[in-house]
């Protein structure tokens, strides 16, 4: 491992000037992050809009800068590693969403790997999150083998699906409400209210950030370029209120069967969700729909006369959680069942370490720390990463025990914990960050 004397670590807010130009540090940081994810170098226009979105999110950027560089190499003003965090909210199934510290934009240049840069950035960031009073941190991982060592655990998943929409596509019952086409740009005003209703109803949902509205409206695709191929429709409930929308793109006549790709689909309730699918299934000249964010507990196959029209092509881990304050995190969570369980948590970084008694009464949780010297036998022993997986209730403790990630110490402890952590609704989120 190289000495960190070779590097400068700098943290600063993403910023743009009054004339809309990005500050030089933000621009150099973003070009480095873009290179780390193998994306094309951004034009000045795309770069400015991208930094503007980062600033709108309130992202704080960390760059690691080499103090010297060989002649002809990228200059020392371009970071060799990038890292960012920004504040958001997480639906935990409780009465109110919980503030959450979100980690994103993590890259290390291949010529500077295995020098402890990621560990230094991550540990400093988690320490800052604790200082700032966050009970949870979260991330979405481009590589799944990196983050357990820092106490993050997979907490939710989504499915990539293809749905055949030929003559066999029929609903068992006609959904209530109606759908109509709109200009995709209208989602800039319609979309946030619909998403707010989705966010309030789904444990595991992270609030939306600025990039999503650019994508849904076609203002910018994943590369930051305008996307005129995006179209949109909304679903109206029986009172005429908008309660769902879908943005989609035709994937070209050269691709067979002719296919629509969903850019964004958000529904406030099940009726809107099925109504949007009924609309998609009726689009002419198309025989297949592709979507990368379908729920694990999906009503669509059961709503169709032929459930085999829906095929899962991939299951992707989505939200990873890191518990930083056990008492506050679990007190903020929603509970479907009353009961009690004692957890012995191990945590190399120390934030979640301890023995905790979780008691739920009337659907409200309370947590107290128990002295390890007490004679009490904990129900389970679990590490910090597994605790993150358990937090929302999307992972059965028995599965973690079977994987060797959790140990039952008291008879019936697994079953007590399973009943206690059952989610109040299926765990599902559709915000990547």
pLDDT of the residue at 224? 80
Q: Please tell me whether 118 is known to bind a ligand.
A: yes
Q: Please tell me whether 417 is known to bind a ligand.
A: no
Q: Please tell me whether 34 is known to bind a ligand.
A: no
pLDDT of the residue at 223? 77
CA–CA separation, 42 and 20 (whole Å):
16
Please give the DSSP secondary-structure letter assigned to residue 55.
Answer: H
Q: Please tell me whether 117 is known to bind a ligand.
A: yes
Please give the DSSP secondary-structure letter assigned to residue 186.
Answer: G
pLDDT of the residue at 1? 43
Burial of 323 (0-12, 13-18, 19+ CB in 10 A): buried
Per-residue pLDDT of the chain in tens (433 residues, 90 and over written 9): 445 889 999 999 999 998 989 999 999 999 999 999 999 999 999 999 999 999 999 999 999 999 999 999 999 999 999 999 999 999 999 999 999 999 999 999 999 999 999 999 999 999 999 999 999 999 999 999 999 999 999 999 999 999 999 999 999 999 999 999 999 999 999 999 999 999 999 999 999 999 999 999 999 887 788 899 999 999 999 999 999 999 999 999 999 999 999 999 999 999 999 999 999 999 999 999 999 999 999 999 999 999 999 999 999 999 999 999 999 999 999 999 999 999 999 999 999 999 999 999 999 999 999 998 777 899 999 999 999 999 999 999 999 999 999 999 999 999 999 999 999 999 999 999 9
Confidence (pTM):
0.95
Q: Please tell me whether 390 is known to bind a ligand.
A: no
Q: Please tell me whether 80 is known to bind a ligand.
A: no
Q: Please tell me whether 107 is known to bind a ligand.
A: yes
- CA 186 → CA 191, 192, 232, 245, 423, distances in Å? 8, 11, 9, 11, 34
**Could you list the active site residues?**
147, 433
CA–CA separation, 335 and 357 (whole Å):
15
Listed residue (432, 14, 46, 27) closest to 223, CA to CA: 46
Q: Name every residue whose Cβ is closer than 8 Å to that of residue 60 and which is 6 or more positions away in sequence.
A: 11, 12, 13, 14, 84, 85, 86
pLDDT of the residue at 221? 85
What structural domains and CATH numbers belong to the chain? 4-134 (3.40.630.30), 158-316 (3.40.630.30), 325-420 (3.30.1050.10)
CA–CA separation, 35 and 80 (whole Å):
10
Q: Please tell me whether 106 is known to bind a ligand.
A: yes
Q: Name every residue whose Cβ is closer than 8 Å to that of residue 276 and which is 6 or more positions away in sequence.
A: 179, 233, 235, 244, 245, 246, 265, 267
- Omega before 257 within 30 of 0, i.e. cis: yes
CB atoms within 10 A of CB 158: 22
How many helices and strands in the chain, by DSSP H and E?
A: 11, 19
């Amino acid at each position: 491992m190289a000495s960190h004397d070779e590097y400068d670590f700098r943290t600063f807010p993403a910023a743009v000037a009054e004339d809309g130009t990005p500050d030089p540090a933000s621009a150099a940081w973003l070009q480095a992050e873009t290179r780390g994810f193998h994306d094309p170098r951004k034009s000045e226009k795309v770069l400015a809009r991208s930094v503007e979105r980062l600033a709108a999110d309130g992202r704080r950027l960390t760059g690691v800068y080499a103090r010297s560089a060989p002649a002809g190499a990228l200059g020392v003003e371009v970071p060799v590693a990038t890292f960012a965090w920004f504040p958001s909210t997480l639906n935990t199934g409780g009465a109110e969403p919980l503030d959450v510290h979100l980690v994103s934009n993590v890259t290390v240049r291949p010529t500077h790997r295995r020098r402890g840069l990621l560990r230094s950035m991550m540990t400093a960031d988690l320490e800052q999150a604790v200082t700032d009073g966050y009970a949870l941190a979260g991330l979405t991982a481009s590589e799944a083998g990196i983050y357990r060592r820092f106490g993050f655990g997979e907490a939710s998943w989504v499915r990539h699906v293809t749905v055949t929409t030929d003559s066999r596509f029929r609903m068992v019952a006609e959904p209530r409400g109606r759908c109509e086409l709109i200009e995709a740009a209208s989602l800039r005003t319609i979309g946030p209210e619909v998403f707010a209703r989705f966010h309030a109803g789904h444990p595991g949902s992270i609030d939306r950030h600025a990039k999503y509205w650019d994508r849904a409206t076609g203002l910018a695709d994943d590369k930051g370029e305008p996307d005129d191929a995006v179209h949109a429709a909304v679903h109206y409930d029986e009172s005429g209120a908008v309660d769902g929308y879908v943005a989609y793109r035709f994937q070209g006549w050269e691709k067979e069967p002719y296919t629509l790709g969903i850019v964004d689909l958000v529904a406030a309730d099940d009726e809107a969700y099925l109504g949007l699918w009924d609309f998609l299934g009726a689009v002419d000249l198309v025989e297949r729909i592709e979507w990368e964010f379908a729920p694990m507990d999906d009503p669509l196959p059961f709503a169709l006369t032929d459930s085999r029209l829906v095929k899962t092509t991939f299951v992707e881990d989505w939200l990873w959680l890191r518990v930083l304050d056990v008492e506050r995190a679990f007190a903020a969570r929603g509970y479907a069942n009353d009961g009690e369980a004692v957890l012995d948590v191990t945590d190399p970084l120390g934030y979640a370490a301890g023995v905790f008694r979780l008691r739920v009464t009337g659907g409200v949780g309370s947590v107290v720390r128990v002295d390890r010297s007490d004679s009490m036998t904990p129900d389970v022993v679990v590490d910090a990463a597994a605790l993150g997986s358990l937090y929302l209730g999307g992972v059965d403790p028995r599965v973690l025990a079977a994987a060797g990630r959790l140990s039952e110490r008291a008879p019936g402890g697994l079953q007590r914990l399973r009943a206690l952590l059952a989610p109040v609704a299926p765990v599902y989120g559709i915000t990547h960050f």
